[in-house]
Amino acid sequence: MTHASPLSLFSLAGKHALVTGASRGLGQAIARGLAGAGAEVTVTARSLAALEETLALIGRAGGTARGLVLDQRDTAGISRALGPGRFDILVNNAGVEEICPSAEVREELWDKIIDTNLKGAFFTTQAVARGMLARRQGAIINLCSLTSYVGVPTATPYGSSKSGLLGMTRALAAEWAGQGLRVNAIAPGYFRTEMTEVFYQDEAWARNMEAKIPQGRFGQGEDLTGAVIFLASDASGYITGQCLGIDGGYLAAI
């Protein structure tokens, strides 16, 4: 009996991955990492123009990628855009965040965050999973958050969406494990991105938060790519229903 090289287990050659919300930040880093591991990558945003940088970066590195217009709040549009497309890997990264005192949260803000981060992720997963289930193979990775585990003041809608996403990860993993699909998640800690930049503008907050991270620094997009490649590849073939914290030790220390 021959055994594959351990490193070959991490190869994504011949795989087709879909990464939502990949025009910038963590989604862009994840898409670049998957392409670097050999996957053909489809990246989404609400406009093709927003994806130009991501596509160019992947192309210059020798990878293969295409852009797809997708609005996570438009469930009918999700169905039309994804149709019968074949994907081996799905990364549900698209998300929005907005802080607001809970007593002042309006229904529009609640719907914007929940519909994008949770409802949109579910219906994107449903659309992609139909093809995966027919082939009895596929890897789905959801972007959870520290707020999937801990309460953060003024982030109730966001925390609710990410807690729901963790529950969705576990439920789908249990339902689809016997049909060849694996559903896992990662929970990034404090990463400085365009979406979260508003927090880091408060220098006192940033210094205080950085001091709470055992590794002594905020995360960078590249800190996620190894974990995503692992969860997307055959190297994690017996892992499903798990959420891997990528937080510099933050959760372990609180």
Which candidate in 149, 158, 200, 250 is catalytic? 158
Beta partners for residue 138, in sequence order: 181
Query: Is 158 one of the catalytic residues?
Result: yes
CA distances from 123 to 42, 87, 115, 129 (A): 17, 15, 10, 10
- For residues 15 and 35, what is the distance between their CA atoms, to the nearest angstrom? 10
Cβ distance 21 to 27 under 8 Å? yes
The Cβ-side half-sphere exposure at 77, using a 13 Å CA radius, reads: 12
- For residues 88 and 196, what is the distance between their CA atoms, to the nearest angstrom? 30
Handedness of CA 121, 108, 30, 49 (dihedral sign): positive
Structure tokens, 40 = 């053909």
- Could you list the active site residues? 158
